[in-house]
Amino acid sequence: MELIDLSEYDLSYEKQFMTLMVRLLRPYIIFKKPLAPDPSTNLGEPIHGTLNIYWVGDPLLPQPHTWPTNPRFTSILFGTSRPAAKDRNHESLEIISFEEYVHFIQCIFPKIIQDEITKNKEELVLLEIKKEVLLNERHSEPRFILPRFMNGEGDRRRGNEMIKELNRYSRTEINEICKQTDNKPPELSNKIEYLEMIQKINRKENGSINKIIYFLRNLDYLEIQTTQERPWTRIPAPPKFDSFG
């Protein structure tokens, strides 16, 4: 996941939030405004209340992040009628429904973020153990052993792999690894902090389906790409509330 400088955005303003969200989702979701063809000019005007929302086919996306098998979506998701488009930056793009987008932003995207957080936290723990090992052995021959305090089969397995790797290096190489290892924890901690902030933003701004509706309909105010592809995703109208007083 791209690390974006969040200080560039004041999320009190909807347009800035939308710009950030479009950028965050770019590896997974691409938005385009559909045009209504005008026979008299061969040009078109954006069709308000609709979008072409594309799922970017990414074979590297972990398997658990799959679309729901709800029968309502079976023909759309897995049938031959799903619209697809070619894009110069992607091998193929698949148009998805509003319901699929809601599922992605409220179920799949949070899982992607949490998986990244977990992976980075595990790497940070292993790195701290690595620093401990290197520090204790820095003034002796490069022959390392696994610390006794390591718990869990998974941690011990990764720790043993780390020890085997360290024992293959010369003293000069070990000294260079020490320098690199000293710089790594702040980088990982900053990434975890960033991901937790993105998690918080997504939960706050996309936790409500009504907020998602407003976000998608207000994308008209951003300078996003247009397309003349005829299939598009219809965005529900925002709910109407009784006025007070």
Taking only the tens place, the pLDDT of each residue in 207-242 is: 999 999 999 999 988 888 888 887 888 888 887 755
The reported pLDDT for the residue numbered 171 is: 75
The reported pLDDT for the residue numbered 92 is: 63
Q: Cα angle at 209 between 203 and 214, to 5 degrees?
A: 100
To which H or E segment does residue 235 belong?
none
Let me know if residue 132 belongs to a domain.
yes
pLDDT, one tens digit per residue, over 61-74 is 444 344 444 333 33
Let me know if residue 5 belongs to a domain.
no
Per the prediction, the chain carries an average pLDDT of: 76
| pTM score above 0.75 | no
Let me know if residue 1 belongs to a domain.
no
Let me know if residue 99 belongs to a domain.
yes
The reported pLDDT for the residue numbered 174 is: 76
Pairwise pLDDT comparison (11 vs 184), residue with the higher score: 11
The reported pLDDT for the residue numbered 241 is: 59
Let me know if residue 226 belongs to a domain.
yes
pLDDT of 189 strictly over 80: yes
Highest mean pLDDT among 41-50, 144-153, 171-180, 210-219: 210-219
Let me know if residue 93 belongs to a domain.
yes
Percent of the chain past pLDDT 90, that is, above it, reads 29
Question: For residue 51, what are the β-bridge partners?
Answer: 233
pLDDT of 8 strictly over 50: yes
Q: Which domain holds residue 78?
A: 10-234
Q: What one-character-per-residue DSSP string does 40-81 give? A: TTTEEEE-TTEEEEEEE--TTS-TT------GGGHHHHHSTT
Task: Look at 81-85, 89-93, 150-154 and tell me which has the smallest mean pLDDT.
Answer: 81-85
pLDDT, one tens digit per residue, over 97-155 is 899 899 999 999 999 999 999 999 988 888 877 777 776 665 455 567 666 656 656 66
The count of domains in the chain is 1
Let me know if residue 244 belongs to a domain.
no
The reported pLDDT for the residue numbered 141 is: 54
Pairwise pLDDT comparison (190 vs 50), residue with the higher score: 190
- Rounded CA-CA distance 15/20 in Å is 9
